Amino acid sequence: MAGDSWEALQAEIIACRACPRLVAWREEVARRRRRAYEFPDGRIAMRPYWSRPLPAFGDRRARLLVVGLAPAAHGGNRTGRMFSGDSAGRTLVAALYRAGWANQPRSEGPGDGLELRGVLLTAVCRCVPPGNRPTAEELRLCRPFLRRELALLPDLRVVLALGRVAFEGFLRAWREEGGEVPGGDFRHGGVYPLGGGRILVATYHPSQRNTRTGRLTEEMLDAVLGQVREWLG
């Protein structure tokens, strides 16, 4: 893997302004902020919101790639790191910790000491979308970033898609890269062969809505990751 190619790609992601709606929204969120991240006297208790597209985060020699939907408004869009500072990030990273891929169960943002081993976190949309719903065109414009990341992950064996949008977005990127696309619709716990000894696994997104309603429980997520762990040895 060419390190400079990876660094150049991530720098290009961070600088992207291809989608006017997403640029406007991520910057509006940063202007509004959220009172929960302020001191009682009104001073901001944190660095300014990141408010840019998010690069991938984790181990560049990853055998497991976790693909999410998009940054949360006051999570990744605030911290500048995938799956940090919000409920989904805390749920996912705690599960990765229990499975042995993270050195700690917390994911609050840069400087919290989090390290991932053998796993990389990315997304099909790098900017926070209004209502957590990127348009088909926004997903299309963002997809080359995922495609190029895939080309720079020679040790990749398992892809874990978090939710239907991530599942379908990954498969489009995989198809465009000439990969073998399996049949079958999205379902939690679904396993889909990608060819060349690689597989795609699907799970419900660890959003607060899914975890609060019990659609995705800690035990369900642990079971999926445990199965992945067995495949990877």
Q: Model confidence over 170-219: pLDDT tens digits?
A: 999 999 999 889 989 999 999 999 988 999 999 999 999 999 999 999 99
What is the longest distance spanned by two Cα atoms in the chain?
57
Q: Which residues contact 230 (CB under 8 A, 6 or more apart)?
A: none
Distance between CA 159 and CA 65 in Å, rounded?
Answer: 5
Instruction: Tell if the pTM clears 0.95, that is, is over it.
Output: no
Q: Is the pLDDT of residue 2 over 60?
A: no
pLDDT at 201: 98
pLDDT at 137: 98
**Residue 23: how many CB atoms within 10 A of its CB?**
16
In the chain, the percentage of residues whose pLDDT exceeds 70 is 93
Q: CA torsion 152→198→201→134, rounded to 10°?
A: 30
Q: Is the dihedral of CA 31, 80, 164, 146 positive or negative?
A: positive
Sheet of 57-58, strand order: 57-58, 119-123, 64-68, 158-162, 198-203, 191-195
Q: Write the pLDDT tens digit of every residue in 105-163.
A: 999 999 999 999 999 999 999 999 999 999 999 999 999 999 999 999 999 999 999 99
Please name each of the domains of the chain with its CATH number. Answer: 3-232 (3.40.470.10)
The helix/strand/coil state of 195 is: strand
In the structure, what pLDDT confidence band is assigned to residue 1 with cuts at 50, 70 and 90? Answer: very low
Distance between CA 100 and CA 111 in Å, rounded?
Answer: 20
Q: What mean pLDDT value characterizes the chain?
A: 92
Q: Write the pLDDT tens digit of every residue in 74-91.
A: 999 999 999 999 999 999
Q: Write the pLDDT tens digit of every residue in 29-61.
A: 998 876 555 544 444 445 789 999 999 999 999
pLDDT at 233: 82
Give the β-pairing of 64-68 and 119-123: parallel
